[in-house]
Structure 1
Amino acid sequence: MLNRVGLEVLECADLPEAESALSRFTPGVIVLDLNLPGGHGLDLLNHVNRSATNVLVMSSMVQQHTVEHRQSRGDAFLSKPFDPAVFVKTVVLP
């Protein structure tokens, strides 16, 4: 969806891969699922340059993760499943 609107996307398969990518790149936006292989998605926030990167937190476990998101440093939250148009708008307009 994001490629179709002209955004460059780097997909990471797990938490260690995402941590490694953040040591090499500073993305404008991170779409962060909380249920990651290799660790909890919120653990990645310790590696994010928050002055340069916005974070969209996503989860299918809405009630549990809504509380965690409020305590995290994410900029926005979307529950899954989500409307693709809302997802793209949220990523493009942080």
Structure 2
Amino acid sequence: MAENYLRRDGFRVVTALDARSAAAVLREHDPDLMVLDLGLPNGNGLDLLRGVRAGRHLLHRNSLLVAVSGFSQDADRELSRAAGFDAHFAKPLDLADLDTLLAQGVTGGTRSL
């Protein structure tokens, strides 16, 4: 659902089904926006982002990082923020919330996921 929404909004979307393929996507692309499910197979979104922050995967400094999770308590949101995410949304993702965030956070250049 978010994939189609972002495409209609002019984003070039690249998807990954698990943590390994998400890491491969990061090696091949330089996204302006990364929407990452925290419950990925073969790892999780928090570990993947920690790898990004540790320099194992390239990501430019201005990328907007969005966590999506079935867990949305304050402690879950704090874990996401501590890992370096800019936002944490509960599943199912509310596209209006994503749109508001995009209006604030993605500027200039080619927009991509």
TM-score, length-normalised on structure 1? 0.85
CA distances 1:35-88 after superposition (whole Å, capped 9, x unpaired): 001101111112252514220111111125223113211111111223222223
TM-score, length-normalised on structure 2? 0.73
Q: Distance in 1 between matches of 2:96 and 2:62?
A: 24
Q: 5+ unaligned residues in a row in structure 2: which ranges?
A: 52-56, 106-113
SS in 1 for 2:89: strand
**Paired-residue identity, %:** 32
Q: Distance in 1 between matches of 2:94 and 2:13?
A: 19
Aligned-residue RMSD, C-alpha: 1.7
**1:21 corresponding residue in structure 2:** 25
CA distances 1:5-24 after superposition (whole Å, capped 9, x unpaired): 11111010110001011111
| Correspondences of 1:5-84 after superposition (within 5 Å) | 5-45=9-49, 46=51, 47-63=57-73, 65-84=76-95
**2:109 corresponding residue in structure 1:** none
SS in 1 for 2:102: helix
Bigger relative contact order (CA 8 A; separation at least 6): 2
Distance 1:68 1:30, change over 3 A: same
Q: CA deviation at 1:93?
A: 3.1
SS in 2 for 1:35: coil
Hey, which of these two has a bigger chunk of strand by percent?
1
